[in-house]
Chain A
Amino acid sequence: MKRELLSGNEAIARGAYEAGITFASAYPGTPSTEILENVVRYKEDIHCQWGSNEKTAFEEAMGATFTGARVLVAMKHVGLNVAADPLFSSSYLGAEGGFIIVSADDPGMHSSQNEQDNRNYAIAAKIPVLEPSDSQEAKDFVVEGIKISEKFNTPVMLRSSTRVSHSRSAVETGERETPPEIHYEKDFQKTMLLPVIARKKHIIVEERQKKIKEFSDTFKYNYIVEGKTRIGIIASGIAFQNGREVFKDDWFLKVAMPYPFPEELYKKFAEKVDKIYVLEENDPIMENFARLITPDKEIIGKDFFPLTGEMTEDVILETLGKKDLTPEFDINSIPKRPPSLCPGCPHTATFHNLNLQKVTVTGDIGCYTLGGLPPLNAMDTTIDMGASITAMLGMEKSMEKAGKKLKQAAVIGDSTFFHSGITGLLDLIYNGSKGTVIILDNSITAMTGHQDNPGTGKTLMGDDAPVVDILKLVKDGLGIEHSFEIDGYDVKGIRALLREELKREKLSVIVVKRVCALLFKKPNWSPTIVDPEKCIKCNLCLKLGCPAITSKDDKAFIVSSLCTGCSVCIQVCPHDAMHHSDEDGMHIKDTSLVDFFKGGK
């Protein structure tokens, strides 16, 4: 046995290997992305792939379960909203070969639009959920989860969180179990959810839950830690680890399976203590079960601890009144360091123009969401993946009905367009939208760390794949007459095209094409420089938000080590004060779409 320091996500991937899983799929999303990126290390044994979205990834995994395979599907918490439809079906259909659904939740919203607690989904879909508290458990729970899944013929949810997924702790690795034999025999009673079949299945699901509930009491990862006081703590996930820093002498009920809740084990624990604290992140799930079982016990949960944010050691101590967190130094008094689009980002010129033309922009989710922050300020809304297009249609039609009109555009990235933009675009065509859809095609899923997608020409396993040409898709495929492609660095071209299309009383699509600036291997770009004689400090270039542009001695100044020579600022400067330091040098703008260095994962 080997001990290694693994992140929770690496450990989940290792668990997939050891559990004998042979099929894994996902759509990238922080904090879940690295799971599949690590499963790919075992690609000899595990087929792995990116889906276009979480729903497709989930259904692909279900397809594999029909052949008896052990499977894993991974996504971030909000991704499960997209895959909620097959999730509920999968509960009824069961999983002969073992089925792990990883939901990586994000308490504290480090990189998400909400803080939903996906244990609620497990309860609603009637499947068991496991909550690891460190990397060892993250790995073990995949292996255990597969056993539970096969024993009870149910999918099993593994609820990770940002802190579990992105923290590293020691893991003892083991051998791979022999996967079950892959086979398929037609048996539609097993695999078709017609009402007549589903009615029978629902009864089985309810019976199954009772059995899993009994199992939960004996599951070895649900256990009691003896204490020296009459105080007890129920804890799961990272909150267990945080809680152990605080409650050093008290009893613990460590819960690995918050649903179905280990009722008998809880009763034993409750007898030993007079007062119970419940430490869980987000919703009061275990707390509510405990209250139902022992209504007369003193239970302190979310009426006391915050419902929002993370349950850290400091939060617990402060809530208990044991630590004053008023900072000695007020960090709000110093400038923040918000993330920004990179130097040479292919999205900058588009947002710059949208801002200048005062367009109402329904936005979407990706790096380009940063275009909504100052100084670009070029986004009005973000809802979820794909909503830029559909929200624009709703606004347009509502205004139209009232006899009003907005200058509107929807902005969406290539990966998000593949994820759930295409269906929205169909709605626009079908309902006669006159709007403008801007598809920022940087040929990668950039935000989550550069994953391949149907537009990149590579699969997760590194094989070649056909490249979906977005312009062809919308123009020739969907028949949108006014479809255009333009270079992301062509500031004036984008300006002119936008002006034209925003005026047009017809639907149009602008594909802004340019590879993500970070996809080039160790570039040695020759930078742009400012001629201080010509610069009158009008600050227009500073409004691009390019991290390479700053000011010095009351003139614009370019930090050459950061500059890519993309030439966007050169085109923006009305006083001709900017130029390449070396016209024959390497500039990102001169690279074609083919000769960039891709991925390399």
Chain B
Amino acid sequence: MARLVPPPPPEHAGARRPNVWGFMAPPPAFERVETGPYLLRPRVFMNALGAICFAFAFLLPFITINAYVISIATSAVIYIMLASGLNIVVGYAGLLDLGYVAFFAVGAYTWGIMSTRLHWGMIESIPVVLAICVVAGIVIGGPTLRLRSDYLAIVTLGFGEIIRITANNIQVTGGPQGIYGIPKFSFLGLDLSVPITIGGIVFQPAVSYYMFCVFCMAVAVLLAARLAKGRMGRAWKAVRDDEDAAEAMGINTYATKLTAYITGAVWGGMAGVLMGSHLGSVAPGSFVFLQSALVLMAVVLGGMGSTPGIVIGALVISLGPELLRGFGNGRYFLFGVLLIVCMLFRPQGVWPSTWRLPFLRSARVERVDILDDSAGNLLDRTDLTPQAGDDTSAEPQGGGR
């Protein structure tokens, strides 16, 4: 006998509905409000702090234009950029890379060759440098990231040395002498290799180049911090904290590690470009293992995965030996002792990623009841009848990438 009434759909049909944003999830049962003064909300405060630090660094030449100071400061700024790149690899993704300076070398040499031998300008060179860094990242990271982390450390160490020794032994990189006469940037009609006059103030090449480096560094640090907070950054940290759990969440751990490695390579390469122009030359001697170790130390000392931490770490590592100049030949020894003491008392780093400034701790997200059945009646809450304003046709958040 034919059914007159269609069978009722199974109870579960449509039991799950997308939330207002198009995600399959029940709507929150509580409203969240951020408490505390606006300026003391961690995100607001840290952004402001970052902006102040940037302004200070950028305007440093108005305090002093001593050539020595500016030169040291430029190196320090490039170190911060390098540390921020290594932080992506080591701090966020948890991959111990002992040969990070390889990418620094790749960037510096590529820019050096392109500018001195091929006489390319900066605008054309940057995409090429980027592409070569990405390729280098894939070539080195592709096979090695399948290894367990202790093997990874050894293999990256090997690659770091291979790049340096190769540069030492082939023609195009100038052999042991390296490449000389790398120009400072010129772009959009602005030539940083000659003094520039703006509003009656003369900017010497070293000064304008320093300011340019500060700008690039700020962009690099900001982008790294933003990436860390986004979808890929969460995947990096998940892989760092627990690879299996990350896989169980649909994160392809190998691809995730590779993106971290490539991103780190790009950061390192860009820092290399800046360094090449800063020194005006590149030579294999600048890319020894000690360099990788120092940058790694900057990250570990500052606090792995922490943006303020790695800035502090890079400043300490690059400025420390200079500040200790008064101690003569013993300064590196003293510096080493200070670092050891530092790590003994704060193994998490100066500013660990999970640390929050004490006066920012009062600000928090608090829950406020919005439903009257919030007393814990779970079953009622799971009955996801769409509420007014629910946009069930919201654009589906595509899967896949």
Instruction: Tell me if chain B binds chain A.
Output: no
